[in-house]
Amino acid sequence: MKKTLLLLLIILPFYISFAQTVKGTVVNDLDKPIPQVSIYLDGTTTATTSAADGSFSLNIPNSKNGVLVFQKENFDTYTVNVSEVLNKTLKVGLLKARNIEEVKIIPYTEATYKRYIGHFLNAFIGMDHENVKIKNQRTLKFAYDSENKILRVKAPQTLIIENKNLGYTIQYNLVEFVSEFDHQTTRFYGTSFFTVTNNNAKMKLNRMNAFDGSQVHFFRSVFAKKVESDGFIVNQITKFPNEKYPTPAELQKLNDYTTSLKSKQAILSIPSDISDIAGRKRTEPAYKIAITKMRIPETDYTKNTDGKLILDYDYMMQINFKKYFYEYKKGQFVKTKNPIVQTSYLHPDGETFEISSDGNTSNPGMLTNQGEFANNKIENLLPLDYELGD
C-alpha cells in the first residue's frame, strides 16, 4: 500500500509588504501549534524554526524560484513552491508520520546494509569518507532486489552530514536512492539545508573549485545566456544501436537459461551460444554514440514558456569545460595557467526541466548525467545560494 500524505495549506489574506517574506503558523491535525519545525529554502542556507506557538517568519532572497520545506522528525514533510506562497501568510498543517504495514517483497536487513554500505557511500557521498561523513549513518535502511539487481536505500531520519572539506553541515532528507546494477545507473534526490561551520580561506578555495565547471555552474550559465563565455562548449550526441550487443531475443534466451540454472544441482558446461551472448552483454554497450552537431547554442536546447526557461532537447548533450583550478597565493585566489578539459553528458530523454537562476532544475532526480557532472555528489555539494568566493 502506498503511503499517502495528507497536508493542509490554508492561504490567509494578503498582507502588504515590499519585503519578500513568508510567515504564518504550523499546526497539527488538532489545530495545535507545532514548535521547532525546520523551515528552509531547499538546498540553501536560508532557514528558520517555528516558535513555541507555531509561528514563523522567513525572509526569502530576491528570487521567486525554489522550494520551501517544512520538516520535523515524526511528522510528514511538506514542500511548496516559493512562488505560490511568497508574501503571504500561511497556516500549514502537518500530520504525524504513520507506520503503515506494507507487503515487502524485499526486506531491509542488516546483512544487506553491511554488503552495500560501501557502494551507497561512494555513489551518494563520493570517495572522501574520511572528511565527509553521515553522522547518523546507522539509521539507513537497505533493500536489494537480487532478481533485478536493484538496490534501494531509505532514510527514516534526516541525515546529518558533516563536510569538513567545504565547511558545511548538511541536514539532508533523502527521498529516494536507487542503484540499478545491470544498467550501471544511480539516482537519488532529497531536500537539504546547509549550515556554515568553517569559513576560512581553505574552505573558500575548496568551494570555488567545487563550483567551477559543476552542473549548477553550467545551468546558471544557461540561464544567463553565457554558456560559451563561461567556458562551456555543448555538443549534440546521437545514439546508434550497437549491432554487436545481444538482440532482445538473445537476451530473453540468456534470461531463460539463467532461470533454469536455479533448479539444477550442478553445471557441467555452459553452451557456446549462451556463453557468447553473455560475453557480448558484458563487454559491448547497447548503443554507440557520435557527435553529430558541435557548439550548439542555448536556443537549440532551451525554450521560453510563460516566462520560464525550459530545458527541452531530444538528444544527449555533451558538455566540455576548460577548467582552471583556483589556488590561494599571497592572500588572493588566482587561477592556474594550465587548464584541464572536463567532459560531462546530460540525458534529457524526452523530458523537460525548468531551469532556475540559481542553477537548479525541476525534478533534478530525473535528469540523468554522466562524466564530470556525475562526480558532483554530496562531497562537492554547495548551497544553491552560493556565490563564487563565499
Contact 169, 162 (CB under 8 A): yes
* Residue 274, pLDDT score: 87
* Residue 239, pLDDT score: 86
Quote the CA–CA distance of 142 and 25 in Å, as a whole number: 36
| Number of CB atoms found within 10 A of residue 5's CB | 12
Residue with cell 555452459: 270
| Number of CB atoms found within 10 A of residue 91's CB | 15
Contact 327, 339 (CB under 8 A): no
Please list, in sequence order, all residues whose beta carbon lies within 8 angstroms of the beta carbon of residue 22, skipping any fewer than 6 positions away.
Answer: 57, 58, 60, 68, 82, 85, 86, 87, 88, 90
Domain boundaries, the chain: 8-93, 104-198, 201-242+285-390, 243-284
pTM, entire model: 0.78
Cα R_g (the chain), whole angstroms: 24
The whole-number mean pLDDT for each consecutive block of 10 residues of the chain, a chain of 390 residues, reads: 37 44 90 92 90 92 78 87 84 76 58 89 93 93 86 90 96 90 83 93 95 95 95 94 91 85 66 89 87 95 92 94 93 92 90 90 81 88 90
Give the chain's length. 390
- pLDDT tens digit string along 207-263? 999 999 999 999 999 999 999 999 999 999 998 899 999 999 998 988 888 877 766
Domain 8-93 is of which CATH architecture? Sandwich (2.60)
